[in-house]
């Protein structure tokens, strides 16, 4: 167990607190720039970055000299992070202890060289209060979010790529009582350590070795969480057949868990979950029953013009015919006041919520 930071079982880098952080060569300056959130390198060596307002090209001097240089850089970077990238395995995901996430794809899967995508974590992860002050949600919604965490609602955070799902998830976990044991499962590390939480276990996928042995996947890790005495189980992203084990865990008394999911809105969540459920052999009606019991709340994020905000807070219900339905109980456009639907009062009473701009009473 690492001192002051919780346990860690992972395969994306050596389990050594003294391990040196990776070096990024020509990209070091961009990686160290706190304003940069994403870096992309094309097969020809063109470099694009996102400072929060969309992608823009940057000219590096010196820079990549061509496809071969990009390929060599991708292979070396993944090797630093403990991932194999070569002709036999031309695609890799990796992450550093600092939460830097790297995705690389080699030719011929891309036309030439390699395509490299780097996601950089916030150097100083903001609290929920700081996120609200920056426009993530109306100030009154802080009471909603706090109540959901304190009352151990199981939360599904949804949104598109770059909408801020991991940032919000980290902030929500930061509100959990420090004595609670958090068990986190991720494909590659993104959440990192949660400030103040020493009783935290971080699990990450391990790839199989060159002989095809030793791999540990998300399904194995989600199952393992149940044997680790968790107060809260957190899945960094629902993306495959592990959804079945997560739903069963959340339905077996492990309340207060959290997960993220790519979805367009609350209403589209059932379709996304159904697709993942089929990968695990769950028929839609079985998935619907499990999902309704597993997730108490859906929080949907949107990003527009560099501004990220909570657009919907909703819930999952089932129709008379057993279909899973996603329903927004309150919405916000990112400006002005929020709108509360007909289901809001019941939802608010369930979670002991009262806000200044709604008509609910606890």
Q: What is the pLDDT confidence band of residue 194, given thresholds at 50, 70 and 90?
A: confident
For residue 8, pLDDT beyond 70 = no
Domain with residues 27-119, CATH architecture: 2-Layer Sandwich (3.30)
Extents of the domains making up the chain: 27-119, 128-351
Q: What is the pLDDT confidence band of residue 9, given thresholds at 50, 70 and 90?
A: very low
Q: Which DSSP helix (H) or strand (E) runs through 64?
A: none
Q: Report the C-alpha dihedral over residues 17, 22, 28, 33, rounded to 10 degrees.
A: -40
- Higher confidence at residue 9 or residue 139? 139
pLDDT in tens, 113-158: 999 999 998 778 899 999 999 999 999 999 999 999 999 999 999 9
- At residue 235, the 3 state secondary structure works out as strand
Lowest mean pLDDT among 119-133, 175-189, 201-215, 239-253: 201-215
For helices 141-150 and 344-351, angle between their N-to-C axes, nearest 10 degrees: 50
Lowest mean pLDDT among 21-25, 39-43, 80-84, 188-192: 188-192
For residue 263, pLDDT beyond 90 = yes
pLDDT value at residue 358:
57
The average pLDDT across 3-20 equals: 43
Query: Listing from the earlier edge strand, what are the strands of the sheet with 7-9?
Result: 7-9, 200-204, 182-186, 232-235, 258-262, 155-159, 297-304, 307-318, 324-331, 339-340
The average pLDDT across 308-322 equals: 96
For helices 269-279 and 242-250, angle between their N-to-C axes, nearest 10 degrees: 110
- At residue 262, the 3 state secondary structure works out as strand
Please give the Cα distance from 186 to 297 (Å, whole number): 21
Please give the Cα distance from 95 to 101 (Å, whole number): 4
Q: What is the pLDDT confidence band of residue 22, given thresholds at 50, 70 and 90?
A: confident
Side-chain half-sphere exposure of 140, counting CA atoms within 13 A: 16
pTM above 0.85, yes or no: no
pLDDT in tens, 56-98: 999 998 999 999 999 999 999 999 998 899 999 999 998 888 7
pLDDT value at residue 122:
79
Q: Which fold has domain 128-351?
A: Rossmann fold (3.40.50)
DSSP lists the bridge partners of residue 300 as 158, 312
pLDDT in tens, 222-233: 999 999 999 999
């Amino acid at each position: 167990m690492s001192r002051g930071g919780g346990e860690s079982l992972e395969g994306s880098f050596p389990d050594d607190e003294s391990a040196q952080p990776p070096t990024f060569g020509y990209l070091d300056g961009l990686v160290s720039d706190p304003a940069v959130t994403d870096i992309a390198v094309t097969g020809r060596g063109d470099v694009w970055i996102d400072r929060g307002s969309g992608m823009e090209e940057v000219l590096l001097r010196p820079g990549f000299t061509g496809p071969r240089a990009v390929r060599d850089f991708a292979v070396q970077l993944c090797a630093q992070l403990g991932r194999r990238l070569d002709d036999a395995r031309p695609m890799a995901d990796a992450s550093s202890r600092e939460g830097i996430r790297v995705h690389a794809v080699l030719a011929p899967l891309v036309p030439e060289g390699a395509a490299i995508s780097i996601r950089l974590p916030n150097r100083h992860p903001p609290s929920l209060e700081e996120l609200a002050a920056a426009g993530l949600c109306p100030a009154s919604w802080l009471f909603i979010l706090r109540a959901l965490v304190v009352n151990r609602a199981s939360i599904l955070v949804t949104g598109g790529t770059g909408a801020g799902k991991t940032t919000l998830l980290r902030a929500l976990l930061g509100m959990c009582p420090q004595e609670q044991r958090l068990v986190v499962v991720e494909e590659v590390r993104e959440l990192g350590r949660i400030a103040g939480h020493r009783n935290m276990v971080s699990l990450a996928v391990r790839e199989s070795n060159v002989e095809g042995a030793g791999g540990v996947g998300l399904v194995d890790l989600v199952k393992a969480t149940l044997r680790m005495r968790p107060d809260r189980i957190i899945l960094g992203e629902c993306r495959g057949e592990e959804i079945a084990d997560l739903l069963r865990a959340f339905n077996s008394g492990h309340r207060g868990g959290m997960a993220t999911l790519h979805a367009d809105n609350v209403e589209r969540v059932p379709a996304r979950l159904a697709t993942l459920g089929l990968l695990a052999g769950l028929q839609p009606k079985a998935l619907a029953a499990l999902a309704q019991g597993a997730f108490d709340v859906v929080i949907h994020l949107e990003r527009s013009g560099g501004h990220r905000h909570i657009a919907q807070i909703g819930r999952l219900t089932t129709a008379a015919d057993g279909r899973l339905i996603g329903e927004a109980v309150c919405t916000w456009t990112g400006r002005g006041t929020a709108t509360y639907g007909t289901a809001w009062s019941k939802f608010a009473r369930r979670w002991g919520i009262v806000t200044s701009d709604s008509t609910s009473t606890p």
